[in-house]
Structure 1
Amino acid sequence: MENFIKQLEKQHSGKKVLVLFLLTNSVYANMLLVTIPATMEFSNGLQLLDMMPAGYDLEYVNTLFHTLGDTGRQMYLTKQIPVDMMYPLLFGISYAAVLAYFLLKLPKLNSKFLYLCLLPVIAGLADYLENIGIISMLNTYPNVTGSSVNITSIFSVIKSSATSIYFLTLIVVLIVLGLRRMKSNSENFHQ
């Protein structure tokens, strides 16, 4: 944990952060524009489990998997999930770097604030555990258990909660930076 924070403190290159950010979001765009819509063609409008921030229950999972049919479940397992196995690592690293980059621009920063950079890492880990749960449920369907759904759903909620808190944190940091820049520009203008 301490090594992770020390690495973030050394992160001063905006170019590295930008490249990571663009790579991460190109994978995300591929999921949003290609693999998720291709899988949802079989879902009759039902949301995929990855896209349900408040979680789901056994009845929903069974309804979704039944509606997807063999072809849709296979698409979920072999097209969507493999891309989603790349994304959490990229998300965790790049979004931690983005937040660290902007936090380090704040003067007199208490280094404990860098622990907020763990939020996307937590979201990424929860995303991996969610994916593992979805793979397991797809492979055991129609014998999906309530406990496997509950555990996987908990990881979906943790993923979405950590992601939401992360983006709120990033917005606050960007607002603070913007206000400080406006104040500095105003002081320089009046001198």
Structure 2
Amino acid sequence: MNNLRKIISENLSGKKVAILFFLTNLVYAFMLFVTIPKTVAYSGGMKLLDMMPQGYDFEYVNELFNKFGEEGREAYLYNQIPVDMIYPLLFGITYSLLIGYFLKKLDKLNTHFFYLCLIPMIAGVADYLENIGIITMLYDYPDLSITQINITNFFTLIKSLSTTLFFLILITIIIIVGIKRLKGK
């Protein structure tokens, strides 16, 4: 854990965090405006699995993959998933550093609050595990198992919960930094 603390501490320059933030959101925007719409076009209006923060079940996955047809499943596998294999790494690194950056401003980085920096990393790892599950299901379709879908859904839920928790923590920290700045003036 000390090595991770050191790596984060050494990479908290505003410029570095800003560049990573821009790059992460550029990739996210590309997914939102290009790869996701291209894939959803095959779904008959159904949401992609990785865009369902409350999860999904066996029936939903079967219906979605059926509506996709072979062309839609290939779009998911070869258009959306490759970009979504870059995004979790950027999300985990960028937002861990962003929390660290603001914790440093509050002189809380070298306290137990440091562990808040791990939440985006948890989200990133869960996103990778979700993606691996989706890839496996796309290859296995139509021979899907309930267990396979439940495991992938579990990682979707972990990703969603940790991402939501991250944003709540980030907003709280930014508000505290803002209040501290206002009181300092």
- TM interval, short-chain normalised: over 0.9
TM-score when normalising by structure 2: 0.97
* 1:100-111 aligned within 5 A: 100-107=100-107, 111=111
* 1:57-72 aligned within 5 A: 57-72=57-72
Q: Which residue does the alignment assign to 1:127? A: 127
Structure 2 residue 29 is matched with structure 1 residue 29: yes
Unaligned 5+ segments in structure 1 are: 186-191
TM-score when normalising by structure 1: 0.94
- Counterpart CA distance in 2 for 1:50 and 1:107 is 36
Instruction: Give the drift of 1:6.
Output: 1.8
Q: Which residue does the alignment assign to 1:48? A: 48
How many residue pairs end up in the alignment?
Answer: 185
Instruction: Give the drift of 1:11.
Output: 3.0
Structure 2 residue 176 is matched with structure 1 residue 162: no
Residue 104 of structure 1 aligns to a residue whose secondary structure is helix
Structure 2 residue 151 is matched with structure 1 residue 140: no
Larger Rg: 1
Instruction: Give the drift of 1:134.
Output: 0.2
Structure 2 counterpart of 1:30, one-letter code? F
Residue 43 of structure 2 aligns to a residue whose secondary structure is coil
Unaligned 5+ segments in structure 2 are: none
- Counterpart CA distance in 1 for 2:108 and 2:144 is 52
Moved over 4 A (4+): none
Instruction: Give the drift of 1:9.
Output: 2.2
- Is contact 2:96–2:121 with CA below 8 Å preserved after alignment? yes
Structure 2 counterpart of 1:6, one-letter code? K
Q: Which residue does the alignment assign to 2:82? A: 82
- Is contact 1:92–1:122 with CA below 8 Å preserved after alignment? yes
- Counterpart CA distance in 2 for 1:178 and 1:12 is 18
- Counterpart CA distance in 2 for 1:36 and 1:141 is 20
